[in-house]
């Protein structure tokens, strides 16, 4: 392809991306080179899948119950990415009252996507892991609880990757199902076969 044609093609593609982004400002966008970073890649695909789920919710017809359930599913993922916005969005929906859903829904989702754009840290992941482990305190033995805390501590210290405590927690939740935890996106925000969290330290 001649250099001039290639340049025109790139301009056309860039223009199309800008046009789509202007129409859909919450659409996740990331520079291609950034996707070589495992943390940024995992973050980007997490946002892509959240965007897709939101679109499905809109197509089905947004309701107050649907919005509340959506937020409930994303509670711990949001807590891991942005604890401040986690509280803000909780308050936003807590004061939903008779708010105009057509205005509230897009405003909520824009804030959610902005919050998820911030990468979770070892500290915030550890906080979420501790919250999740609390749901097992009456279900597993003292020895098993000690093991869970030991592995979470290893992750906090950077000894093991995130997938290690997550795998252990999911193991115990399979043995002792909790309906609320079962719906949490945090435990599996993307298809397991992508193994996106294996490289997250």
Q: What is the mean pLDDT of residues 162-173?
A: 97
What percent of the chain has pLDDT above 70?
88
pLDDT in tens, 72-93: 999 999 999 999 999 999 999 9
Let me know the angle formed at the C-alpha of 200 by 49 and 26, rounded to the nearest 5 degrees. 30
Cβ atoms 77, 116 nearer than 8 A: yes
Q: Is 147 exposed, middle or buried (0-12, 13-18, 19+ CB in 10 A)?
A: middle
User: Quick one: three-class SS letters along 44-74?
Assistant: HHHHHHHHHHHHHHHHHCCCHHHHHHHHHHC
Cβ atoms 156, 122 nearer than 8 A: yes
Q: Which of 61-70, 112-121, 144-153, 192-201 has the lowest mean pLDDT?
A: 192-201
């Amino acid at each position: 392809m001649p250099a001039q044609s290639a340049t025109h093609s790139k301009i056309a593609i860039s223009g199309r991306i800008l046009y789509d982004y202007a129409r859909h400002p919450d659409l996740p966008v990331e520079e291609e080179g950034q996707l070589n970073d495992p943390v940024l890649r995992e973050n980007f695909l997490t946002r892509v899948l959240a965007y897709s789920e939101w679109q499905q919710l809109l197509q089905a017809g947004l309701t107050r119950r649907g919005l509340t359930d959506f937020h409930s599913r994303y509670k711990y993922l949001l807590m891991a990415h942005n604890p401040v916005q986690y509280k803000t969005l909780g308050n936003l929906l807590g004061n939903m009252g008779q708010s105009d859903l057509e205005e509230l829904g897009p405003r909520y989702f824009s804030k959610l996507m902005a919050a998820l754009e911030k990468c979770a840290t070892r500290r915030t992941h550890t906080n979420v892991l501790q919250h999740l482990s609390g749901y097992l305190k009456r279900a597993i033995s003292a020895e098993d609880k000690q093991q869970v805390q030991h592995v979470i501590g290893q992750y906090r210290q950077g000894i093991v990757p995130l997938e290690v405590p997550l795998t252990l927690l999911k193991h115990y939740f399979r043995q002792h199902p909790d309906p609320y935890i079962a719906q949490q996106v945090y435990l599996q925000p993307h298809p397991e076969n992508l193994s996106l969290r294996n490289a997250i330290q």
